[in-house]
Amino acid sequence: MVASVALVVLVLSASGWLVMLGAIAVLWVPAVWALYRSLSDEDRKLELLDEQGEIDTYSPRALAELREWVESNPEDPLAEEGKERYNDCVEILQRVDETFYDRSDKEIDSLEKL
Amino acid sequence: MADTDARTVREEWGTRFGFLMAMLGAMVGSGNIWRMPYTTGQNGGGAFLVAYILLLFLIAIPGLMAETVLGSYTNRGVIGSFREVFGRGRAEGLGLVVVLVTVALMSYYAPIIGWTIYYAAHALLGTFFEAGFGPEAFWSSFSGSPLLTVGMHTIAVAAIAVVLAFGIKRGLERVVKWTIPILVLTMIVVAARGLTLPGAMDGLAFAFTPDWNYLVRGQTWIAALGQALFSTGLGWGIALTFGSYLRENDDVPLGGGIFTAVGNTAIGLLAIFVVFPVVFAFGLEPTAGSQLTFVSLVSVFPQMAGGPIWAILFFVGFLFAAFSTGIGVTEVAVTTVAEETRLDRTETVLAVSGVIWLLGIPSAYSAEFLGIMDFMFGNWGLPLATLLIIGTIGWKVGPERIRVLALNRNSDIHIGAWWDSLIKYVIPGVMVFIMAYYFVTNVGASTFRTVGGLVLMGALLAGAVLLMGSVRRGGSEPTETDTALGDD
């Protein structure tokens, strides 16, 4: 039994094992993680929507980027829409008790509409 | 943008799981099962996998994010999305090209789905285990009978039409929520059985032992590129169409990009575990492609203990993989035609299915014709569709705009500025390169097909653009809303 297991192990070289296990690690692990994360985030969003009727739409980093983009591109045809989306998110953050993205109260208080 | 109005009347995915399975189901097809294993084995085993995974992360994942977010942002099918970007007029023809390519793709994929239905039915009937059964004779009698091949093509198109007639939530989503998990489970079970066969590890050694010399060969990278692009369905309009049915608070990058591309490849990896142990345990030819599935594997199931069960699991799983791709690809045309005409959903499904069935008869009748279609649309049509969609996002919409406004909205992960240059330069550049490479490598050996394919695609492009220009001539001029998305 031990010999047959050893034979099975030896058929595949060390580099073969490395590639096989590496491929499983970089494909199956992220796939399962993405599925789990996506479904659990969905549950969280639905829970917050049920409780509050609305949720914050941008993460802190994404919201800061949106503000920067709107301020840097005031002539862009979509600048107005960007501004609306930014302001909507800020208003929601100021209204809701619980946020979807991690934020401190201090951060929320410091946000200003465009 | 008129997305608020559109959302109130447009169908949406019922669950997040449904959307994820639909994306995965559309991208996981027969190619994952019969192409991925031998492409890996032929191109340096582990070395190919390294190249493939690198390109998957560099191109397929960002590209799928871009395509999905365009659909999600516009809430439109393919032609409608191009209209949102370019305005009414000729440029809508670019969207029409994508739709026509997917219809052409389905016309020769539906007969293949027909093959899988036929084999799954015979696996269930136990035909492969009857005394005197010969797999080659069985395949020849099937493929040589127009009545059977056209008949199975008809059944495949009809089955797809029935599913799609029920709509996104009650039809497509309901089916893939069951078929894809069952596909994965059957593959895991068959792989586990295969790995216990004597000699199975030789198969894994063939597939995974890296020959690093292959990493410096251009052919390895081309094969990896082809697999990364074609097996993930990037730029075929599927991700765009499915993205257009996302709900307001749904994420795009994690589900539409990472899960779809990585999950699809994870199933391709699983296919290696399914196919190679059996191939090596029974001394089959690993590079036989479709023959491997329909002849070689059929011959080994009777030799395995519990063979009927393994045959049923394998062929039913295979059928689910092919069928879910069929409904995904057909939905691209159904969504667009329903939006662009006055037909209701059922009428649209009947019209699109009818066209696919009619165009598919020559491919069902003749394997040679199917090969020509695959050569032309696989080598030229699909890369052209990808180039049109990603090129539009990269050069007309502007990757930074859509990323900041839409991609990172409600997103489960943050996508940084690195994404912009991949969409604007890298993916379009790669598509142009791969088409040029195919031309150079094929023009000598098959001049007629190669030049013919290019001429056909050129004619398709010019015809679609002129047609839309002509159709819209009497229509309204572009409005600000129509073109706002395209004024980057």
ipTM at complex level: 0.91
In total, the C-beta contacts within 8 angstroms joining chain A to chain B are: 130
Those residues with Cβ within 8 angstroms of residue B397's Cβ, 6 or more apart along the chain or in another chain: B70, B85, B485, B486, B488
Min Cα separation B295/chain A (Å): 28
Please indicate if any CB of chain A lies within 8 Å of the CB of B14: no
Which of B43, B184, B262 should be substituted to probe chain A, the one whose Cβ sees the most A Cβ atoms within 10 Å?
B262
Given this model, what pLDDT does residue B17 score? 96
* Domain ranges, residue B140: 3-486
Q: Which amino acid is at B435?
A: M
Alpha carbon distance B16, B43 (integer Å): 37
Q: How far apart are the first and last CA of chain A?
A: 72
Alpha-carbon Rg for chain B in angstroms: 22
**A58 pairs with which residues across the strands?**
B409
Write down the pLDDT at residue B6: 45
- In chain A, domain spans: 1-52, 54-114
Considering only CB atoms, which chain B residues are within 8 Å of A88?
none
Q: What is the pLDDT of residue B357?
A: 98
Chain B neighbors of A41, CB-CB under 8 A: 251, 254, 412
| B404/A82 CB distance under 8 A | yes
Of B53, B210, B258, the CB nearest to A15: B210
Average pLDDT over residues B277-292: 79
Whether A64 has its CB under 8 Å from any CB of chain B: the answer is: no
CB contact under 8 A, B259 and A11: no
Contact A38 B45 (CB under 8 A): no
Give yes or no for residue B67 having a pLDDT over 70. yes
Express each pLDDT in B347-368 by its tens digit: 999 999 999 999 999 999 999 9
Tell whether A44 is within 8 A of chain B (Cβ): no
CB B208 within 8 A of CB A12: yes
Cβ <8 Å between B262 and A24: no
Q: Which residues of A touch B263 (CB under 8 A)?
A: 31, 34-35
Q: Choose the mutation target among A1, A18, A21, A27 for the interface with B, i.e. most B CBs under 10 Å.
A: A27
The answer to whether A78 contacts B50, with C-beta atoms less than 8 Å apart, is: no
Nearest-by-CA chain A residue for B268: A27
Does the structure show a pLDDT above 70 at A75? yes
Q: How high is the pLDDT of residue A11?
A: 72
For residue B482, is pLDDT > 60?
no
Q: How much is the pLDDT for B468?
A: 93
Q: Which residues of A touch B45 (CB under 8 A)?
A: 16, 19
Query: Do residues A96 and A52 touch, judged by C-beta distance below 8 A?
Result: yes
CA–CA distance, B166 with B174 (Å, rounded to integer) = 9
Question: Which residues in chain B are closer than 8 Å to A15, comparing Cβ atoms?
Answer: 46, 209-210
In this prediction, residue B39 carries a pLDDT of 81
pLDDT at residue A1 in the model = 46
The C-alpha atoms of residue A78 and residue A69 are separated, in whole angstroms, by 10
Cβ-nearest to B259 among A34, A76, A82: A34
Record: contact B408-A58, CB cut-off 8 A: yes
Secondary structure (3-state) at A89: helix
B4 pLDDT band, cuts 50/70/90, is very low
Q: How many domains does chain B have?
A: 1
CA angle (B157 as vertex; B360, B354 as ends), nearest 5:
65
Whole-angstrom Cα distance, residue B320 to residue B328?
A: 12
CATH at B437? 1.20.1740.10
User: How far apart are alpha carbons B85 and B88 in whole angstroms?
Assistant: 9
Phi, psi dihedrals of residue A58, rounded to the nearest 5°: -130, 145
Q: In chain B, what residues touch A85 (CB-CB under 8 Å)? A: 405, 409
Rounded distance between C-alpha atoms, residue A76 and residue A63, angstroms: 18
pLDDT at B473: 79
The per-residue pLDDT for B80 is 96
Of residues A78 and A2, the one with the higher pLDDT is A78
Question: Residues A27, B266: contact at Cβ < 8 Å?
Answer: yes
Range B173-188 average pLDDT: 94
Cross-chain Cβ contact B404/A62 below 8 Å: yes
Task: Kindly report, residue by residue over B196-224, the tens digit of the pLDDT.
Answer: 888 888 888 888 888 889 888 878 888 88
**CB B280: neighbour CB atoms within 10 A?**
23
| pLDDT at res. B1 | 44
Residue reference for tokens 């009748």: B365
